[in-house]
Amino acid sequence: MQVVVRHDKAALPDEDLVAATTARAVVTLLADSRAERGEWSAPVRRWRDGRIRKLVRRARGVRWERAQVVPGVTVTDGAAAVRAYVPMPTRPLPPELDALQVSGTTFPPTTPAQRDARPAAVVTVALSPLAEMTSGKAAAQCGHGAQLAWETMRTQGDPSLPAWAEDGYRVQVARPDEAGWRACADAPVTVVDAGFTELDGPTETVRAWWSAAR
pLDDT tens-digit series, residues 25-64: 999 999 999 999 999 999 999 998 877 789 999 999 999 9
Whole-number pLDDT of residue 200: 75
68 lies in the same domain as 145: no
Q: Is 103 domain-assigned? A: no
157 lies in the same domain as 125: yes
Whole-number pLDDT of residue 212: 61
153 lies in the same domain as 203: yes
Q: In this structure, are residues 27 and 169 in contact, taking their beta carbons and an 8 Å threshold?
A: yes
Q: Is 150 domain-assigned? A: yes
126 lies in the same domain as 197: yes
147's CB contacts (< 8 A; 6+ apart) are 26, 27, 30, 52
- Whether residue 129 is preceded by a cis peptide bond, meaning omega within 30 degrees of 0, is no
d(CA 198, CA 179): 24
141 lies in the same domain as 72: no
Whole-number pLDDT of residue 195: 66
Beta bridge partners of 191: 206
DSSP annotation of 190: E
Answer whether residue 141 shows pLDDT above 60.
yes
**What are the pLDDT digits (tens) for 152-164?**
999 999 999 999 9
Q: Is 104 domain-assigned? A: no
203 lies in the same domain as 158: yes
115: pLDDT confidence band, cut at 50, 70 and 90? very high
**The last residue of a domain, from among 76, 98, 120:** 98
Work out how many domains the chain is built from and give that number.
2
Structure-model confidence comparison of residues 73 and 203, the more confident one: 73
Which of 2-6, 40-44, 50-54, 178-182 is least confident?
A: 50-54
CATH number at residue 118: 3.40.1490.10
C-alpha 118 chain-centroid distance: 18
The long-range contacts involving 11-14, CB below 8 angstroms and separated by at least 24 positions, are: 11/79, 12/79, 12/107, 12/108, 13/78, 13/79, 13/80, 13/107, 13/108, 14/107, 14/108, 14/109, 14/110, 14/111, 14/114
10 lies in the same domain as 93: yes
Whole-number pLDDT of residue 59: 96
d(CA 83, CA 5): 6
Structure-model confidence comparison of residues 104 and 9, the more confident one: 9
Whole-number pLDDT of residue 65: 97
Q: Is 20 domain-assigned? A: yes
Determine the residue type at 44: V
Q: What is the CA radius of gyration of the chain?
A: 16
Nearest to 55 by CA among 16, 92, 5, 96: 5
**The last residue of a domain, from among 98, 122, 150:** 98
Residue 122: domain span: 112-213
Whole-number pLDDT of residue 129: 96
**What are the pLDDT digits (tens) for 61-89?**
999 999 999 999 999 999 999 999 999 98
Average pLDDT over residues 105-115: 93
Q: At what angle do helices 15-31 and 41-49 cross, to 10 degrees?
A: 120
**The last residue of a domain, from among 48, 67, 98:** 98
Structure-model confidence comparison of residues 196 and 92, the more confident one: 92
Average pLDDT over residues 155-182: 96
84 lies in the same domain as 134: no
138's CB contacts (< 8 A; 6+ apart) are 15, 19, 127, 205
CATH number at residue 10: 3.40.1490
111's CB contacts (< 8 A; 6+ apart) are 14
